[in-house]
């Protein structure tokens, strides 16, 4: 049996395939970003999943593609947790850019992720090449959920948010400064907390203010994570993630401004991953 996961900071989607590539189950855990969460919490989130408990000894391979898995130390931490739990499995842990790439293309292209966090990579048709290491939600993550969440919070408190939008914002969230500071500086998942404020843009009618916020953030992302690739004028640029999916119109506008050819815009990469691993299974069985 093969267990495949597309993992972010907010949640991780899991698919279990049998040896013929048929889906046995779909399940979900809370986020498993090893660059953000401590090992004890990561382990607890795996162990509390009843589906895993039932199947764990039958699983022969685990393929985890996740946020926070772009550097050695957090990747090794998560790999060791999986190996201790799925005792009969060979475990591979790769950055979420691999999942995004396998889901949208088999040809050369630039693949971008806009979800709770953000990232980009270049796929040359064989290898995934990261142009810039990800330094996480404090230093990077332009145009991500937590990026837009921070922007909305600042605009509200600096009174840059239009009054009508500010009224709605107040009704959606607890904006007590002490609550915000506790969640950002003392709780274990500040990036996920910040990202949930970004839902305000997409769950309410878009207006001039929200469009401006989106366009500015996405334009910054293009400048820092897309236009920096020398291949950008020769290959399509693909996007994966909920922020990308719901900002398609703005991405198209910014791409046109920079004369960039857009490829696929996909909300979730898990379906593409299933097909990728089915094809891999066929090759291994030949």
Give tens-digit pLDDT for 77-136. Answer: 999 999 999 999 999 999 888 889 988 998 999 999 999 889 999 999 999 998 887 788
The CATH fold of domain 2-96+269-285: Nucleotidyltransferase; domain 5 (3.30.420)
Q: What pairing do the DSSP bridges indicate for beta strands 128-129 and 237-240? A: unpaired
Residue pLDDT, tens place only, 267-285: 988 878 888 888 877 766 6
Answer whether residue 261 shows pLDDT above 90: yes
> What is the percent of the chain with per-residue pLDDT over 90, rounded to a whole number?
74
Same fold, 2-96+269-285 and 102-266: yes
pTM of the predicted protein model? 0.81
Domain ranges of the chain: 2-96+269-285, 102-266
pLDDT over 70 at 286, yes or no: no
Tens digit of each residue's pLDDT (9 = 90 or more) over 158-180:
999 999 999 999 999 999 999 99
Give the pLDDT confidence of 150-162 residue by residue, as tens digits. Answer: 999 999 999 999 9
Residue 149 pLDDT class (50, 70, 90 cuts): very high
Query: For 194-241, what is each residue's pLDDT tens digit?
Result: 999 999 999 888 899 999 999 999 999 999 999 999 999 999 999 999
Cβ contacts of 29 within 8 Å, gap of 6 or more: 11, 12, 14, 45, 46, 48, 49
Using alpha carbons, list the distances in angstroms from residue 266 to 16, 104, 162, 208, 241.
Answer: 22, 8, 31, 25, 6
Alpha-helical runs (H) found in the chain = 39-47, 50-55, 72-85, 96-104, 136-139, 145-157, 163-172, 177-185, 190-203, 208-221, 242-246, 248-257, 270-285
Class of 102-266 in CATH: alpha beta
3-state percent helix, strand, coil for the chain, nearest multiple of 5: 50, 20, 30
Dihedrals φ, ψ of 255, to 5°? Answer: -60, -45
pLDDT > 70 fraction of the chain, expressed in percent and rounded? 98
Indicate if the pLDDT at residue 258 is higher than 90: yes
Distant-in-sequence, close-in-space partners of 39: CB < 8 Å, separation ≥ 6? 77, 81
């Amino acid at each position: 049996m093969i267990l495949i996961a597309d993992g972010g900071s907010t949640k991780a989607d899991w698919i279990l395939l049998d040896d013929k590539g048929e889906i046995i189950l779909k399940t979900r855990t809370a986020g498993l970003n090893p660059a953000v969460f401590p090992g004890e919490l990561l382990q607890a989130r795996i162990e509390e999943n009843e589906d895993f408990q039932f199947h764990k000894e039958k699983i022969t391979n685990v393929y985890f593609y996740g946020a926070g898995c772009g550097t050695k130390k957090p990747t090794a931490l998560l790999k060791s947790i999986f190996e201790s739990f799925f005792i009969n499995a060979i475990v591979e842990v790769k950055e979420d850019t691999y999942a995004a790439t396998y889901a949208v293309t088999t040809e050369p292209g630039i693949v971008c992720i806009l979800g709770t966090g953000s990232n980009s990579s270049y796929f040359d048709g064989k290898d995934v090449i990261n142009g810039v290491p990800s330094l996480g939600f404090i230093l990077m993550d332009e145009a991500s959920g937590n990026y837009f969440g921070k922007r909305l919070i600042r605009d509200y408190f600096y009174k840059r948010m239009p009054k009508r939008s500010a009224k709605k914002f107040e009704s959606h969230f607890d904006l007590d400064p002490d609550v915000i500071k506790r969640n950002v500086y003392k709780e274990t998942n500040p990036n996920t907390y910040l990202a949930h404020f970004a839902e305000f843009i997409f769950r309410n009618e878009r207006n001039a203010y929200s469009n401006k916020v989106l366009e500015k953030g996405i334009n910054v992302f293009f400048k820092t994570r897309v236009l920096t690739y020398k291949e950008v004028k020769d290959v399509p640029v693909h996007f994966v993630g909920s922020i990308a999916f719901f900002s398609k119109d703005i991405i198209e506008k910014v791409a046109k401004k920079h004369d960039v050819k857009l490829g696929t815009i996909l909300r979730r990469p898990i379906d593409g991953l299933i097909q990728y691993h089915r094809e891999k299974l066929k090759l291994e069985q030949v």
